[in-house]
Structure 1
Amino acid sequence: MKALLKLGIAIISLIVIILGTAKVIELSAPSNSESQTASHAKAKQKATKKKVPKKKRNATKKKVTKKKNSKSNSQQSNFQPEYAVEQQDDVATPVRYRWKSSTIKYKIDTNSDYYQGIWKTAVDSWNQFNVVKLVRANGETPDVHLDASTAVRPEHSGLCTTTFYNQTRLNNLPLLKVATAIVYDNTCNDHKYSKSDRTRVAEHELGHAIGLGHSDSDHSIMNPTPVGRQITNNDVEAVKRAYAS
């Protein structure tokens, strides 16, 4: 009799444990209405010389010289805004987010005249295509903050953090709430970047702030390594898709 009583108690206890576990599994954490992401521009890796056999050294040098001479004027480094290159490739620039309006307010937070000039040029570079209109915030809360700072990770030449609404969409894209784009001065100094090179980094990070993601294209300013690249037609078309309505 006692054995049966103990068995009954054990069975009841087991049922209680199973029911309690099932209840815990069914519980789910509430989803946040906002999310934040960060996208980096990578610093251009320093070239490492490889040992070439003597017989092949002359041929290799001739090939490199030919490639260098074939560069067009639009690919050469200067401080003027880089317009969209004519050539297009098969790699479409991805779009991640967008602002509610195509008029986007920005504020340059850095006190450096040098970087203020870089950011103004980057703004002009995107504004020239008349797809989005980047305007300076005058006493209003800016959508995008533009700054210069010191990198914690030296392989990053720039950073853009974006906060967006998960559940609010336009053109099937999450709407941005605020963005901050930064050029890292110490990394640029370490890699001996010119003012033009730093402007390419600023254009890249501003592209993220507009809503673009990283591109696999070797031409696109949205390539993870933007130095030596330009705003391409594919980049402009991506912005047009994002802000079509």
Structure 2
Amino acid sequence: MGPMLKKILIAIALGTLTIVIAIFGFFVSTTSATEITPEGTARFDSPQATINISNSSQSYQVIWMNAIRAWNRTGVFSFSLSTSPNAQVIAGTNSGMSAKFTGLTNLTTNDQGYISHVTTNLNPKILAKYSYLPTEQTNVAEHELGHAIGLLHSANKASVMYINNRTYGIQNIDIQAVQQLYGSPLGNQAFPYQSYTFQDPFVLKVKGQPEE
């Protein structure tokens, strides 16, 4: 084999290796990106909000308080308790919502794209009917608060924002999503006033699921 042919073969081999590495890197980066919980375009103007627990049931006050503490412990968003009816987030229960759902969150944005008001409710009738444990009810409340601060549903079953979640609390992928959402400027464009509603269906308990 002549020197010239060797050089050609080496060049081809190096070129092929470069392409393989590039393709591998693309798939790795794509996979990593999709693992982060999706966030919407709406958010509060800063990673904090006042919240009023409007429910008179002591057990559901505890559920909401546990969910609030869980988000506050992440350090990426802070809820401050308020007794004002004008609090930015009103959290409670509503047994009158559709029997398909464990929770429902409605948020409204202003003309700057920032969230101006949120109403979020758990469905105690359905949570009781399908035997949600207190920890699982807290997971649902954490999920609803995730919507309240701007997170969307995740395809990752281990995310608190998985649409059929009853098993998992807040995960690192959810925390990263909030960091990303509140770390990026909205820009100067004007946004129309909008209202968003997130409905979260119940899920039957599956044997072998971790009790988290």
Tell me the TM-score range normalised by the shorter chain. 0.5 to 0.7
CA distance change for structure 1 residues 151 and 140 in 2, over 3 Å: closer, same or farther?
A: closer
The residue identity in structure 2 corresponding to 1:144 is: V
Alignment partner, residue 74 of structure 2: 129
1:92 to 36, 40, 44: 36
How far apart, CA to CA, are the structure 2 residues paired with 1:138 and 1:181? Answer: 16
1:227 to 147, 159, 166: 166
> Residue 217 of structure 1 aligns with which residue?
156
**Structure 1 residue 189 displacement after superposition:** 1.1
1:242 is displaced (CA, Å) by 1.5
After alignment, is 184-193 or 131-140 more displaced?
131-140
Higher relative contact order (CA 8 A, sep 6+): 1
Structure showing greater radius of gyration is 1
Q: How does 1:77-226 map to 2 (within 5 A)?
A: 90-96=34-40, 97-139=42-84, 141-165=86-110, 167-168=111-112, 174-226=113-165
How big is each residue's C-alpha offset from its partner over 1:153-209, in whole Å with a ceiling of 9 and x where there is no partner? 2120001001112x41xxxxx210100111100111110111111111101001000
Deviation per CA, 1:71-128: give whole Å up to 9, x if none. xxxxxxxxxxxxxxxxx89422111121012221000000010000000000001000
Show CA shifts across 1:202-241 (max 9, x none): 0100100011010100100000012012211110011011
Amino acid at match of 1:228: T
AA paired with 2:138? T
* Runs of 4+ in structure 1 over 4 Å off: none
Q: How many residues align?
A: 152
Give me the TM-score of the superposition, normalised by structure 1: 0.59
Name structure 1 gaps, 5 residues minimum. Answer: 1-87, 169-173
% identical aligned pairs: 29
Q: Which runs of 5 or more residues in structure 2 are unaligned?
A: 1-31, 185-212
Alpha-carbon distance change, 89 to 198 in structure 1, aligned in 2, over 3 angstroms: farther
Residues 43 and 150, structure 2, Cα contact 8 Å, conserved in 1: yes
